[in-house]
Chain A
Amino acid sequence: MSDDKAVMRWDPYSLTRDAEFDGFWRAHLAKRDRRILLVLGRGFDVRALETATRLKGVGANVAVWLLAYDNGLNDSAKRSALTQANYNGLVALFGAAAITPIDIAIGGTAGETATSRNTKAALEAAGDCLVFDDVVVDISAMPRLVAMTTVAVLLAKLDGVARAGGKSVNLHVTTAESVSADNDAAQGTLQDQVTLVVGFSGQLTSQTTENWPRVWFPVLGERQQARLDLIRDFIDPDEICPVIPFPSRAPRRGDEIIDEHRAILFDEFQIEPANILLACEYNPFEAYKQIFVSMDRYRRALREMGGCKAFVSPISSKLLSIGVLLACYDHRFGDVSGERLDVGIPYVETAVYGDPIQDEQSAYELYSMWIRGEWEEV
């Protein structure tokens, strides 16, 4: 197998946690004049302005792309008020002139699967991000599909330009992470269709590779039975490897997630306990490595059968979603010398949100992940 190597792009990695966030950005900005593009979501989440506030605090020169999503339905008074308050806060930080709204139509109540594709189209039309030195994508208040698509599209674009000898723009992803806040914000009505993140179809229904085994890695969080059910029906996998958060801040969280999903995992999906994988809850790069390696094991083991399709569903925290995206991106576009996996990221969007029950005082921790750029050239 010596000629079939997969080299992990994000090993080592650059991750900055809350307490070091200001110091990291001060030092980064001190190296030279930098124009920062902050891409963030117009949403009701209590964490929406954390990155913006902190960047403002360290004196960054920031322009904003504000992704405004519309599912065609009326928002509740409470959500509208919270969203407007976040917007007003953003204007107060940078001024209205610095903010470019970018409208994205996302899935409504039934049958729509265009969110990821619409996000890609909106970003294509938004303007030139190459005029900036650093692009910061704050996914705290973004719906999961919008967040993952935004990071994937910008990463591919910036990689492509740099690879072609053009400017190398830095890409950072930030999120104010709180498992409880994610859980509290995320309840609502689900879409009845599974959507694939653009770029990651996994060639699911390809008839020419119909015989290839399908391996599914659902990265699990709390209360995900409905999503699991829909995605399992969609991809109809041959092998399922649930990924649970461990280590985690609450030491028993992984066990509790397994216990909560016991019936669906063991009775319905008939998974083998040995298939359960662990991924670090609070370090997306460690999670990336764990998922990447597991996917690679299948890739190499099953190449004798012609190939293998891997599907990874990020139905846990936003931080872990970035780990998932990086693992999938690296398998698709990274340094893999042998036959590549077909990689898919299936997800079920929330169609209609309930009113958030987030506590404004709820604790969260800011993470800054430096995904591409100067860091890799060191």
Chain B
Amino acid sequence: MRNPFRIRASQRSVSDEEFVQLFGAGALDLMEKVADPWGGLVFLRSAPGGGKTSFLRLLTPRPLRLTDQLADTDQQVKETRDALRDVGALVSSGPDLLGTMVVFTSEYREMAGFDRANALFRELVNSRIVIATLRAVLDRAGRAYPEDLDKIHFDWAPESGATIPASANGRHLFEWASDIERGFYERMDDLGVTPAVKGGHARLDGLKWFAHVRIRDPKGPVEVKRVLLLDELQTLAPGQRTSLIEFVTAAREQCGVWIAERLEALTHRDLLSEGALKDRDYEGIIQLERRWSGSKAKVFGRFVESIANLRAAKADGFENRNFFTLIEEHDDLTAWSERFDEASVKIERLIGDANGNGNRYDNWLDEGRGRSGSALDRALHWRTTQILVARDQRRAQSSFDFDALASQELEKRGSSATERAAEHFLRTEVEAPIYFGKDVLSAVSSSNVDQYLEVAGELFEEILAKIRFRREQPMPLSPERQDALIRKVAATRWEGLVRRLPRGYEARRLLEAIGEYCRQQTFRENAPYAPGVTGIAITMQDRALLIDSPDDDVRHLIPLRNVLTSLVAHNLLVPKLDHQNNGKSLVVFYLNRLLCVQFGLPLGYGGWRAKSLKDLMHWQEKGAKAETLVKEATLV
């Protein structure tokens, strides 16, 4: 039995029909802020696994047509169709968009080694825009590619020197483009002495051609909106990428151009400039993880939940069940009551000890003893009280031990953040499950679809196995198993980090130290940063020094800059601007939430501590063991 959560919807081995049925309509919410998606330039960016290629694929002719056709019989597809109608990709008569997709690979980057002036690059891109358009036109018309190429015709008015034929049928254009491809591969695959570069194109005519060419298919002129979908730009050499983007930006052609790329294509300045951090994205940039975070986290939660249910429905034997009804949301108190009660007794004794011979906490102790509710409720109350006692004891000597604190003081000094910290402490101490439930599943994905599917897929596998043996009465997956499985995914990712990440060793050392530091700060007895510390911050001055300075001025900082940039590009650190009351601005780097699981931290945002660049460099060099050497953090 195969696990449908492992399917990558963007892969070509997934049929267009299956792809459309698996597509979560909520993704199209991301287009809300794009004013003119079919007439301007749109950047779609994310860490690996953000869902860029799936997004682009939906806009190509076959998936669009299938969405329109399947919507009447499939509620989920209907939602996608409605969303596509809202953005004008579909109209009542069917698709109103010619989405033409060109995917780049590292083959182009290899070419940069001998194609210094990008002439061959432009030539190849031109040819591929033409061929991709031929395919799209035939797909849209429901015709076979390449058999029906002579049934479509293209006319345009080329400028002098343009090489794309002015008037030609699809077959002729196909031959023209094939010649270019053949030449490219002959050069790439030549094992003999490398010949000098000849030929190539001086201009990127393919874009102008795409925007202006008059197209006729067997039904007549093709008069629909056009969008060129350029995928995987991060695989290009930096010079190729820059020249392509500059050209597209300057051309301002009468068609949409979408550029999808991983964040790793961006430089440290692109990622961590003040403008980027202040989210001054102009409307043409969709940075997926950022768009799904903050106030949109709930929308993201609904989106990934719909994906999870779509995936689950694909599994043999899962039938019409709902994935989330099989994920237990509450502790099994019959199993844990004893442990929670033991914890309560222990905490009561500790508070009694803190009281010494005085009566300062008598009322609080009475309050705890009189507490009703479940074993968990009582233990949580005791653990919250314990934190408040620790805080009280750390206070300056403004009061005397013989001033008994009133019961009301307990409530006054508490907060929901303290209660969340207390719960995290308690569960950690008694080794009760921490990471379970639908919301946790969404939270640990750190706004990344692939990360969500990886974790949910692990849970689903076990659910499916349980269903096989208890088909009549499937039991939800217990919090204990959810917690164990989520931790297992986090550990596996952690193990693979060095292998998968550029500068993996340095990156892991830095993360290890950040994790260790966050743990130390989170689990301080008075929980000063409740519910916990899950990020570190640097001042904007330090950010400017690190990011904006010329390389020669900050040679010693470049290794740190490279690692930070790489971690941000891979969504392992999530940068956010945070403004202080005293007017001092800082940029906070929050840990990816699966890293929080790895380090046993809470999943909420908001808790961070400021660090100097010197500390971070030290961490990057020494890893977790560095933390014992670093002095107590500066309070900001």
Chain A residues within CB distance 8 Å of chain B: 109-111, 113-114, 117-118, 120-121, 124, 152-153, 156-157, 160, 187-196, 198-201, 203-208, 210-211, 225-226, 233-234, 236-238, 263, 266-268, 270, 332, 351-352, 354
A112 to chain B, nearest CB (A): 8
B53 to chain A, nearest CB (A): 10
Residues of B within 8 A of A263 (CB): 6
Q: Identify the closest chain A residue to B111 (Cβ).
A: A117
- What separation, in Å, do the CA atoms of A194 and B174 have in the docked complex? 28
Residues of A within 8 A of B235 (CB): 193
Q: Identify the closest chain A residue to B457 (Cβ).
A: A267
CB < 8 Å neighbour of A208 from B104, B131, B193, B498: B131
* Given A124-B194, A199-B191, A206-B181, also A189-B505 (CB < 8 A): yes
Interface class of chain B by DSSP: helix
Could you show 14 A-B contacts with beta carbons less than 8 Å apart? A120-B194, A188-B504, A193-B106, A194-B106, A198-B189, A199-B191, A205-B104, A205-B107, A207-B128, A210-B131, A226-B499, A266-B2, A267-B2, A267-B461
Binds A, one of B7-15, B24-32, B535-543: B7-15
Question: Is the pair A208, B264 in contact by a Cβ cutoff of 8 Å?
Answer: no
Q: Identify the closest chain B residue to A124 (Cβ).
A: B193
B141 to chain A, nearest CB (A): 16
Question: Is the pair B6, A236 in contact by a Cβ cutoff of 8 Å?
Answer: no
A195 to chain B, nearest CB (A): 7
CB < 8 Å neighbour of A210 from B7, B135, B191: B135
Residues of B within 8 A of A205 (CB): 103-105, 107, 128
Question: Is the pair A160, B2 in contact by a Cβ cutoff of 8 Å?
Answer: no
* Given A124-B194, A208-B131, also A270-B7 (CB < 8 A): yes
What size tier do the contact residues of chain B reach?
Answer: 35 or more
* Given A120-B191, A205-B103, A238-B13, also A114-B110 (CB < 8 A): yes
Question: Is the pair B7, A207 in contact by a Cβ cutoff of 8 Å?
Answer: no
- What separation, in Å, do the CA atoms of A198 and B501 have in the docked complex? 25
Residues of B within 8 A of A120 (CB): 191, 194
Q: Tell me whether B373 is interfacial, beta carbon within 8 Å.
A: no
* Given A117-B113, A199-B189, A211-B145, also A236-B502 (CB < 8 A): no
Residues of A within 8 A of B109 (CB): 111, 113, 193
Residues of B within 8 A of A195 (CB): 106, 110
- What separation, in Å, do the CA atoms of A233 and B9 have in the docked complex? 12
CB < 8 Å neighbour of A237 from B7, B13, B185: B13
| A-contact 0/1 string along B558-581, CB 8 Å cutoff | 000010001000000000000000
- What separation, in Å, do the CA atoms of A201 and B107 have in the docked complex? 8
Residues of B within 8 A of A268 (CB): 6-8
Question: Is the pair B146, A109 in contact by a Cβ cutoff of 8 Å?
Answer: no
Question: Is the pair A234, B190 in contact by a Cβ cutoff of 8 Å?
Answer: no
- What separation, in Å, do the CA atoms of A195 and B234 have in the docked complex? 15
A292 to chain B, nearest CB (A): 19
CB < 8 Å neighbour of A200 from B181, B189, B496: B189
B189 to chain A, nearest CB (A): 5
B492 to chain A, nearest CB (A): 9
Q: Tell me whether B350 is interfacial, beta carbon within 8 Å.
A: no
Residues of B within 8 A of A270 (CB): 2, 6-7, 13
* Given A121-B194, A201-B189, A226-B496, also A196-B6 (CB < 8 A): no
Question: Is the pair A189, B504 in contact by a Cβ cutoff of 8 Å?
Answer: yes
Interface class of chain A by DSSP: mixed
Question: Is the pair B105, A234 in contact by a Cβ cutoff of 8 Å?
Answer: yes
Residues of A within 8 A of B461 (CB): 267
Residues of B within 8 A of A237 (CB): 13
Question: Is the pair A208, B106 in contact by a Cβ cutoff of 8 Å?
Answer: no
- What separation, in Å, do the CA atoms of A157 and B193 have in the docked complex? 9
Residues of A within 8 A of B132 (CB): 207
Residues of B within 8 A of A267 (CB): 2-3, 6, 457, 461
CB < 8 Å neighbour of B188 from A201, A211, A234, A354: A201
Residues of B within 8 A of A153 (CB): 191
Q: Tell me whether B127 is interfacial, beta carbon within 8 Å.
A: yes
CB < 8 Å neighbour of A352 from B106, B146, B504: B504
Residues of A within 8 A of B174 (CB): 208
* Given A121-B194, A211-B146, also A114-B181 (CB < 8 A): no
Q: Tell me whether B503 is interfacial, beta carbon within 8 Å.
A: yes
Q: Interface centre among B11, B146, B189, B461, by most A CB within 10 Å? A: B189
Ranked nearest first, the 8 interchain pairs of A and B with the lowest CB-CB distance are: A189-B504, A207-B131, A156-B191, A110-B502, A267-B6, A268-B6, A109-B502, A208-B178
Q: Identify the closest chain A residue to B103 (Cβ).
A: A205
CB < 8 Å neighbour of A199 from B135, B181, B190, B566: B190
A279 to chain B, nearest CB (A): 24
- What separation, in Å, do the CA atoms of A267 and B456 have in the docked complex? 14
Q: Tell me whether B192 is interfacial, beta carbon within 8 Å.
A: yes
Question: Is the pair A204, B105 in contact by a Cβ cutoff of 8 Å?
Answer: yes
Question: Is the pair B191, A207 in contact by a Cβ cutoff of 8 Å?
Answer: no
Q: Tell me whether B177 is interfacial, beta carbon within 8 Å.
A: yes
- What separation, in Å, do the CA atoms of A191 and B109 have in the docked complex? 14
Q: A205-B103, A205-B107 are in contact. List 6 more A-B contacts (CB 8 A).
A: A110-B502, A110-B566, A157-B191, A193-B109, A208-B181, A211-B145
Kindly identify, within residues 427 to 467 of chain B, every residue whose CB is under 8 Å from any CB belonging to chain A.
Answer: 457, 461
Question: Is the pair B181, A190 in contact by a Cβ cutoff of 8 Å?
Answer: no
* Given A117-B110, A207-B128, also A238-B12 (CB < 8 A): yes
Q: Tell me whether B412 is interfacial, beta carbon within 8 Å.
A: no
B158 to chain A, nearest CB (A): 21
Q: Tell me whether B500 is interfacial, beta carbon within 8 Å.
A: yes
A238 to chain B, nearest CB (A): 6
Kindly identify, within residues 202 to 232 of chain B, every residue whose CB is under 8 Å from any CB belonging to chain A.
Answer: none
- What separation, in Å, do the CA atoms of A146 and B573 have in the docked complex? 35
- What separation, in Å, do the CA atoms of A327 and B105 have in the docked complex? 25
- What separation, in Å, do the CA atoms of A283 and B24 have in the docked complex? 49
- What separation, in Å, do the CA atoms of A266 and B1 have in the docked complex? 9
* Given A211-B145, A268-B8, also A189-B501 (CB < 8 A): yes
- What separation, in Å, do the CA atoms of A156 and B11 have in the docked complex? 35
Question: Is the pair B181, A160 in contact by a Cβ cutoff of 8 Å?
Answer: no
| A-contact 0/1 string along B181-201, CB 8 Å cutoff | 100010011111110000000
- What separation, in Å, do the CA atoms of A120 and B6 have in the docked complex? 39
- What separation, in Å, do the CA atoms of A123 and B401 have in the docked complex? 83
Residues of A within 8 A of B188 (CB): 198, 201
Q: Identify the closest chain B residue to A191 (Cβ).
A: B502
Question: Is the pair A236, B504 in contact by a Cβ cutoff of 8 Å?
Answer: no
Q: Interface centre among A210, A225, A226, by most B CB within 10 Å? A: A210
Q: Identify the closest chain B residue to A108 (Cβ).
A: B502
Q: Identify the closest chain B residue to A344 (Cβ).
A: B189
Residues of B within 8 A of A226 (CB): 496, 499-500
B245 to chain A, nearest CB (A): 17
B267 to chain A, nearest CB (A): 12
Question: Is the pair A192, B8 in contact by a Cβ cutoff of 8 Å?
Answer: no
A153 to chain B, nearest CB (A): 6
Question: Is the pair A113, B110 in contact by a Cβ cutoff of 8 Å?
Answer: yes
